[in-house]
A and B are shown apart, each in its own frame.
Chain A
Amino acid sequence: MAEELLKLENIYKNFGNVKVLKDVNIKINKGEVVALIGDNGAGKSTLIKVITGVHSPNSGKVFFKNKEVQIKSVAQSRKMGIEAVYQERALCDQQELFRNIFAGREITNSFGFLDIKKQRKEAEKILRDYIGFTSKAITVDSQVMGLSGGEKQGVAFGRSLYFNSDLIVLDEPTMGLSIQETEKVLNFVKGLKKENKSAIFIDHNIIHVYGAADRFIILDRGEVVGEFNKEEISREELVQKMIQLHESGKIKVED
């Protein structure tokens, strides 16, 4: 029996009168990669924002490492070991890499002044050991601006590994990337499993999802309407399900 890392129970989330999440129950085990799929507006983004502390649910329970928790802020979720890797929002463009790696978690003395030397040294270690950047063009002092989309996410992955996160949340990690870059990012995701880390990710590309995830959770209009292990379903069947859902607005979960 796999060890449970995160469990959401009966999560509801409204924005005003709009019910964005309705009675969502999901579970993520250690070392497992779970994909959230569904149409635009299905509630995927809201769900991961509940997990990362950007939004609080209106009702429902969240368990992390078998303890009930209330995640009220991003800083708190990061401290617990949940880290988001957003393609567009992972890093700040005009700031140096080493500052980006430690933003919000700076190494400081007791007066709050940064230990720049240590940050740069640790950042070098992260680039080399966790991400495998060997190119001379990218150093810890580079501005993020010059990095490609895949490289940016690489840095964000390295950061989450360095800070020993247990659960990594990925929002559309392959959107807009070239084929090679996509390959790199999917390799990062696969690499997480080796470290016994878990990940939850959203992607519109079923082919990418199928390659990288162990389990698929289908959301539709705020509800979980299907859940499959990879062994239970072929890629073609998964695509078929999504087409059905799209056409009929309903999915056959029973078969």
Chain B
Amino acid sequence: MSNLLNSYFVKTHKLEISITIIAIVLFLIYFLGAPHVFTRFPIYRAFMQSMPFFGIIAISATFVVTLGEIDLSFPSIVGITSLIFGMVMTSTDGNVFIAFILATSLGMFAGLVNGLLVTKIGIPSIVATIGTLFFWRGLVNVISQGSGIAIVDVADGTWHHMIFVEKLFGKIPMQFIWFIVLTGLMQWVYRYHKFGNHIHFVGDNKASAQMMGINVDNVKIIAFVQLGFFSALAGIFTMYEMLYFWPTQGEGLMLTTLAAVFVGGTSVFGGKGTIFGTFIGVLIIGSLESGIVALGLSGFYVKFINGLMITVAVTVYALIQRRKN
């Protein structure tokens, strides 16, 4: 046992192991507290249906947080790209290729704007992205004039609806499969690609990274651009699930998404993080609301327990980090 605890894997994966244990304990509580709900499949299907919408963004945002930066504008990027997707879909009679390319390009453009404001103009990311948060949402309101767009006629029953959100074998929501695949891919990029490597070095120490010949500005810009892309993608998934665009789309995503990243163990100070941790963070944050209600507590507890989880988690990580230093 002590051998196991001292093994190389355990030593280098303390965060991942802690977060996994927390998730297991949480699900055990659900299971024991509400067996009538948690021994049956529908609750898990509901989780698989709803988690990917913010989970995809959380995975992508882990790159930006590892840089020591933050992006608060993604809820509005989801909004503006969903609007464009809806408008193009309805006006082209469901041409998904054009709609997809335009929506994701706009997402990347919005990310590029964030990246340029942060690197070339030198505005701290928390300030710059508050600006763009309002800007893109404002643009949504101006363009949509407050009304929604139904895409049910051009999307429902199509092959693209099937590959985005229908159920595999009638059970597993496709968006969850996509979420798993993307998580795996992003984990690979995060740890084993040059770009992921540079993200870690820039987040760790910008000056050192520059001295090692890493183009700090480019790394940051690309990180914001990919977050723009994945925000657009998350918006498109949501559109297919709901078959409707509404002007506040994306607004509820901010706290759950960032909470998943931080509960997952990625350091706010940059330089260290884990995609796997974010994934578990998504499972935790995404299950809290239904879990709490299923346990018989009123919905009023949701935010309270959410807040408790986040505060405890980041405190534990900060203490682990301090002991290391």
Cα A95 to Cα B192 with chains together (Å) = 13
Q: Are the C-beta atoms of A95 and B211 separated by less than 8 Å?
A: no
Q: Are the C-beta atoms of A103 and B271 separated by less than 8 Å?
A: no
Q: What string of 1s and 0s marks CB contacts (under 8 Å) between A59-95 and chain B?
A: 0000000000000011100100000101011111111
- B residues 258-293 in Cβ contact with A at 8 Å: 271-272
With an 8 A cutoff between CB atoms, is B39 at the interface? no
**Contact partner, A112, options B8, B195, B210, B214, Cβ 8 Å:** B195
With an 8 A cutoff between CB atoms, is A16 at the interface? no
With an 8 A cutoff between CB atoms, is A113 at the interface? yes
- A residues 105-123 in Cβ contact with B at 8 Å: 105-106, 108, 111-114, 116
Given A103-B214, A108-B194: 20 more A-B contacts, CB < 8 Å = A54-B210, A54-B211, A74-B212, A75-B213, A88-B208, A89-B208, A90-B208, A92-B201, A92-B204, A92-B209, A95-B204, A99-B197, A99-B201, A103-B197, A104-B209, A104-B212, A105-B212, A113-B193, A114-B192, A145-B325
Nearest opposing residue in chain B for A146, CB measure: B324
With an 8 A cutoff between CB atoms, is A129 at the interface? no
CB-defined A-B contacts under 8 Å, sample of 17: A54-B210, A75-B213, A75-B214, A75-B215, A92-B209, A93-B205, A94-B271, A95-B200, A95-B271, A99-B200, A103-B209, A104-B198, A105-B212, A106-B194, A111-B193, A113-B188, A113-B193
Cα A75 to Cα B213 with chains together (Å) = 4
B197 proximity list for chain A (CB < 8 A): 99, 103, 106, 114
Number of interface residues of A (CB under 8 A): 30
A114 proximity list for chain B (CB < 8 A): 192-194, 197
With an 8 A cutoff between CB atoms, is A9 at the interface? no
Q: Are the C-beta atoms of A92 and B271 separated by less than 8 Å?
A: yes
Nearest Cβ in chain B — how far from A137, in angstroms?
A: 13
With an 8 A cutoff between CB atoms, is A195 at the interface? no
Cα A113 to Cα B198 with chains together (Å) = 12
Q: What string of 1s and 0s marks CB contacts (under 8 Å) between B297-325 and chain A?
A: 00000000000000000000000000011
Q: Are the C-beta atoms of A93 and B192 separated by less than 8 Å?
A: no
Nearest Cβ in chain A — how far from B8, in angstroms?
A: 8
- A residues 122-178 in Cβ contact with B at 8 Å: 141, 145
With an 8 A cutoff between CB atoms, is B21 at the interface? no
Q: Are the C-beta atoms of B192 and A116 separated by less than 8 Å?
A: yes
Q: Are the C-beta atoms of B211 and A74 separated by less than 8 Å?
A: yes
Nearest Cβ in chain A — how far from B61, in angstroms?
A: 19
With an 8 A cutoff between CB atoms, is B158 at the interface? no
Cα A57 to Cα B155 with chains together (Å) = 59
Q: What string of 1s and 0s marks CB contacts (under 8 Å) between B205-241 and chain A?
A: 1011111111100000000000000000000000000
Nearest Cβ in chain A — how far from B28, in angstroms?
A: 33
Nearest Cβ in chain B — how far from A24, in angstroms?
A: 22
Q: What string of 1s and 0s marks CB contacts (under 8 Å) between B120-150 and chain A?
A: 0000000000000000000000000000000
B213 proximity list for chain A (CB < 8 A): 73-75, 78, 104-105
Q: Are the C-beta atoms of A92 and B205 separated by less than 8 Å?
A: yes
Cα A104 to Cα B215 with chains together (Å) = 9
Nearest Cβ in chain A — how far from B151, in angstroms?
A: 36
Cα A91 to Cα B150 with chains together (Å) = 54
Cα A141 to Cα B188 with chains together (Å) = 19
Nearest Cβ in chain A — how far from B94, in angstroms?
A: 34
Q: Are the C-beta atoms of B195 and A103 separated by less than 8 Å?
A: no
With an 8 A cutoff between CB atoms, is B12 at the interface? yes
Q: Are the C-beta atoms of A89 and B207 separated by less than 8 Å?
A: yes
Nearest opposing residue in chain A for B321, CB measure: A94
B205 proximity list for chain A (CB < 8 A): 89, 92-93
B271 proximity list for chain A (CB < 8 A): 92-95
Q: Are the C-beta atoms of B201 and A103 separated by less than 8 Å?
A: yes
Q: Are the C-beta atoms of A94 and B272 separated by less than 8 Å?
A: yes
Nearest Cβ in chain B — how far from A30, in angstroms?
A: 23
Q: A74-B212, A78-B213, A92-B209 are in contact. Are A113 and B201 (CB under 8 A)?
A: no
**Contact partner, B204, options A52, A93, A104, A112, Cβ 8 Å:** A93
B324 proximity list for chain A (CB < 8 A): 145
Q: Are the C-beta atoms of B211 and A86 separated by less than 8 Å?
A: yes
Nearest Cβ in chain B — how far from A65, in angstroms?
A: 19
Nearest opposing residue in chain A for B204, CB measure: A92
Nearest Cβ in chain A — how far from B271, in angstroms?
A: 4
Nearest Cβ in chain B — how far from A132, in angstroms?
A: 23
Cα A111 to Cα B185 with chains together (Å) = 14
Q: Are the C-beta atoms of B204 and A94 separated by less than 8 Å?
A: yes
Nearest opposing residue in chain A for B267, CB measure: A94
Nearest opposing residue in chain A for B189, CB measure: A113
A111 proximity list for chain B (CB < 8 A): 193
Nearest Cβ in chain A — how far from B10, in angstroms?
A: 13
Nearest Cβ in chain B — how far from A1, in angstroms?
A: 33
Pick from B197, B204, B207, B214 the residue with the most CB of A within 10 Å. B197
Q: Which 5 A-B pairs have the closest CB atoms?
A: A75-B213, A104-B213, A92-B204, A104-B212, A94-B271
